[in-house]
Structure 1
Amino acid sequence: MHERLTTDCGKVAGPRGLLDVGRDGALWKDVLRGLTAVFALQDVIILGYIAATTVLLLWAGPAEMQSESVHRNLACIAATVLGCVFARRATFVAPVIRRSVYRLVLVGIFLQNYLSLRHILPIVRSDSLDMELLRVDLFLFGVEPALWLERFNTRPIVEWFSFFYFSYFFICFFSMVLAIWVDRPGRATAQYAIGTALVYCVGQLGYMVVPAYGPIVALSDAYQGPVDGGFFWGWVIRVVQSGGAMKDVFPSLHTAAPLWFALHTFQRARADRRLLWPASVTAFFSANIIVSTMLLRWHYAIDVVAGVALAVGAAWVTPRLAAWEERFRAGLGHSQPWIFR
């Protein structure tokens, strides 16, 4: 038996060296097994997003609300980690409590991340790319759709699309309740969570890469008059002014999120035909919301195109990521991430 073995690289390694490599491989597998026992793919996506925004905040230099925003991000990271540890490792607590806490933590972190954008976006990027987005629209379409649609600025039409624009918040809420609270936990839940995390995290990073106020602010002088709205338009304005991020234009998450929910439900309807009508209703609302984003002057057309691309991309990649995660976890001896025992 040879005492020394030659590696593929031409280097000589003794038996002890090979043993160390084996130990290192086993060590890394143990580390992966431990991390996977605590974190699912959607947790990693969310933590990665918060870490990225924290780095961008620190990189931006001193600014008002910077320190508070960084501390808020760090608190979100801590809450996410603690929520995951409690949900998947505190097995002495009843599963119903652990899974409820985990769901509440995820929803709370999503909401907090969005509400924080109002302070984060001006710090990360103080400039505006509205004119660049306008030029893209003019190049692609020959006109600015948000301006062209002013011909439909009448009370009945505005109220119709304001209702659908406002319905976005209810679509988000009910899709979340049905997917992670009502539906039986499994691969479909994982797909919903991964896809939703991707849509919102990628979309919100897009706000930081392409900061803009939208046509309602940047092109205000080009309109012949204000939006002729009533009850529903008033609600839209109040919600945006009280909690909107103000520079959340590219991509349009009002486009991406409802469309992603519709596509996800259509995918599930292939196996369960009962979901066909909820998917169709969501798609109808999504189509009206897409038009409303431009008619109500919030978005440029290129924002909508980017939102559609984000939703379609999430619908394509999410089933593949969920299947990969399931195989990866099984290889390490773990069950699906939404099953708590």
Structure 2
Amino acid sequence: MTSPVLNLRRWAGAWQHWSLDKQLTLLFPAGILLFALLFGDIRQWQPADNKAALTGTGIFFLLIALTRLALARNVLSTRYEWLLRELWPVPAMLLGYLLMRLLRLELAIDALGIELMDPQMIAFDTALFGQPLPLLIQHWVSPAMTLLMENAYLHFYYIVPVGSLLWLFYYRAEQPAAFILVRQGIIYTLVIGWLLYLLVPVIGPGQWLAASFTVSLGAQDGLVYDAVNSFRYAYDCFPSLHTAVPWVTLLLCWRWYPWPLRLLVLTMTLSITLSTLYLRYHYAADVLGGILLAVIVAQLRLPQIASRNPH
């Protein structure tokens, strides 16, 4: 049997060789837990209201166990072992977000006396458009449009980054550095966005301006809101990561996509961005903040393409 000390040394050795985004994948959930213990009230975590998030967490740990088992038994080819070792940070980062929901970090924000920034977001939108942009476009609502926006919001957000990484793995196998680069961009974008959720708490127009909307999204409004809100941390609006993550993926992968894939991913990314406003989850300020975050992260990662070596 392997001793705990030997296991600890192995972990320490692996940790030293991990890239920063892999280290952040483990540090961020630990930081969330510490933040909740120091400032929140985890006794109010309400598991009965977080069944979806708890299920997602359970599935995540099951996948970890299955991955470790597959790697330990050497049942995969070297190439697919590499994929498992390099892809895991992306789904693993979801655990940090689920912890924000499960540990109810909004209680910590309230305890620290950090005020919601919705009035500032409304003022920004009003200065640009005369009123908050979700209010301005509410007359675009139709059953078909609502169905399209719901599917874009719920599905494309995951398909674009994960699908792009898998596409790079299968069709750009000669450039493993590209895979690492895109993964890093996604992880850095998520971590920065989640930190800003804590520093700039915003609840969103759907709740803050609920009485101001005169047009209902339609019969499926309740369904999508229940599905999305079962995973959402309460103050997760600025910046819009539903905007930032697809855009940073598109910007980083653009040079490797063939033209048909460029058009497809661009269409999906634009539809996700519009859905955040149409479904009343975000202000224009949140969306512009997400695009700006994506551009900054992409510009910081792109110059390193040539020199990047995978670990």
Q: TM-score, normalised by structure 2?
A: 0.75
**What's the CA shift string for 1:286-320, capped at 9, x where partnerless?**
11221121121110000000000111112111123
For 2:181 and 2:193, the matched residues in 1 are separated by 18
For 1:241 and 1:130, the matched residues in 2 are separated by 18
**Cα distance change on mapping 1:44 and 1:54 into 2, 3 Å:** same
**What's the CA shift string for 1:226-248, capped at 9, x where partnerless?**
31254xx5653342132222321
Do structure 1's residue 38 and structure 2's residue 17 form an aligned pair? yes
CA shift for structure 1 position 213? 1.6
For 2:225 and 2:38, the matched residues in 1 are separated by 33
Map 1:98-177 onto structure 2 (within 5 A). Answer: 98-99=81-82, 101-103=84-86, 105-120=88-103, 121-126=105-110, 127-166=115-154, 167-177=156-166
Q: Is the 8 A contact 1:159 1:229 kept in 2?
A: no
Q: Secondary structure at the match of 1:267?
A: coil
* Identical aligned residues as a percent: 23
**Cα distance change on mapping 1:109 and 1:163 into 2, 3 Å:** closer
Cα RMSD between the aligned structures?
3.8
**Cα distance change on mapping 1:61 and 1:156 into 2, 3 Å:** closer
Q: Which runs of 5+ in 2 are unaligned?
A: 1-11, 48-56
**What's the CA shift string for 1:249-303, capped at 9, x where partnerless?**
111011111112221221324xxxxx23212211111112211211211100000
Q: Secondary structure at the match of 1:158?
A: helix
Map 1:1-341 onto structure 2 (within 5 A). Answer: 38-64=17-43, 95=78, 98-99=81-82, 101-103=84-86, 105-120=88-103, 121-126=105-110, 127-166=115-154, 167-180=156-169, 183-184=172-173, 186-230=176-220, 236-269=224-257, 275-321=258-304, 326=309, 336-337=310-311
Q: TM-score, normalised by structure 1?
A: 0.69
CA shift for structure 1 position 64? 2.7
Amino acid at match of 2:177: R
Q: What corresponds to 2:52 in structure 1?
A: none
Q: Is the 8 A contact 1:207 1:251 kept in 2?
A: yes
Amino acid at match of 1:319: L
Q: If you compute each CA radius of gyration, which structure gives the higher value, 1 or 2?
A: 1
Q: Is the 8 A contact 2:254 2:262 kept in 1?
A: yes
**Cα distance change on mapping 1:43 and 1:322 into 2, 3 Å:** farther
Q: Which runs of 5+ in 1 are unaligned?
A: 1-32, 270-274, 327-335
